[in-house]
């Protein structure tokens, strides 16, 4: 194990699978203490087990991050687990309503936006008090789809566009506390959420000139 993140604590949402899991394992390998947060306990326990078996340290907190009451309870548990959060990685998200606006389900559309935007706001709002005295880093997983329009999946576009603006506004508010805020845009990645549509090394369905990465390929961006 390297020790470049020794004595630091990282909280990563959506860390039970995909990009979040890959980054959690990498941060642990660099010596960080991990707090793993998501709503699916079995997946988080798998990530925790891999970290511990490799000699790292991890704690699990179960929460539906679209629910502000559960986020508040999550923050209380986090404070019991650790006196500090040095890195907050808002990675929870996903595409739910992929229809055109005229054909979309309003409930699913709103849920999609909340999963990709409100979760980051709620978690950041809850965890910031632990970070403002010490400083630290906040990383938000964004998407190129949040920076460009396209037919279908408007809720995902809108949610990630909101994430982009939240990142910029927050950065302006907390820099004097020694906190940097950045958006990580991984590009097309093969995960459970994109299974059947993307294969590592092949082109994504929406951009034949690009290639699909695996979750581990995003780690170097997060480490930087």
- Supply the pLDDT for residue 207: 73
pLDDT (tens, 9 = 90+) of the chain, 224 residues, equals 567 999 999 999 999 999 999 999 999 999 999 999 999 999 999 999 999 999 999 999 999 999 999 999 999 999 998 999 999 999 999 999 999 999 999 999 999 999 999 999 999 999 999 999 999 999 999 999 999 999 999 999 999 999 999 999 999 999 999 999 999 998 767 766 666 676 776 776 677 777 787 788 888 888 88
pTM recorded for the entire structure? 0.90
Question: What are the two backbone dihedrals, phi and then psi, of residue 18, each rounded to the nearest 5 degrees?
Answer: 60, -140
For position 201, what pLDDT does the model report? 63
Would you state the pLDDT for residue 198? 66
**pLDDT for 35:** 98
- What is the end-to-end Cα distance of the chain in Å, rounded? 17
Q: What is the pLDDT of residue 209?
A: 76
Q: How far apart are CA 50 and CA 44, in angstroms?
A: 10
Catalytic residues: 156
Rounded-to-integer distance, Cα 18 and Cα 186, Å: 12
């Amino acid at each position: 194990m390297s020790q470049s993140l020794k004595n630091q604590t990282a909280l990563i949402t959506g860390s039970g699978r995909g990009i979040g899991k890959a980054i959690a394992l990498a941060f642990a390998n660099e010596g960080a203490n991990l707090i793993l947060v998501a709503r699916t306990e079995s997946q988080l326990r798998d990530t925790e087990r891999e970290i511990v078996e490799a000699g790292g340290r991890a704690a699990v907190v179960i929460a539906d991050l679209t629910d502000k009451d559960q986020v508040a309870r999550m923050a209380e548990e986090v404070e019991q687990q650790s006196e500090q959060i040095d890195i907050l990685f808002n990675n929870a998200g996903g595409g739910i309503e992929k229809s055109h606006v005229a054909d979309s389900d309003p409930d699913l559309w709103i849920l999609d936006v909340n999963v990709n935007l409100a979760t980051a706001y709620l978690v950041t709002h809850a965890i910031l008090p632990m970070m403002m005295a010490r400083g630290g880093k906040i990383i938000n997983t964004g998407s190129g789809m949040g920076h460009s329009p396209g037919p279908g999946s408007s809720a995902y576009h809108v949610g990630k566009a909101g994430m982009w603006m939240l990142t910029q506004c927050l950065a302006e508010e907390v820099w004097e506390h020694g906190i940097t805020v950045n958006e990580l845009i991984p590009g097309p990645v093969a995960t459970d959420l994109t299974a059947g549509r993307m294969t590592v090394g092949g082109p994504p369905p929406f951009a034949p000139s690009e290639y699909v990465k695996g979750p581990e390929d995003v780690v170097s961006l997060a480490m930087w």
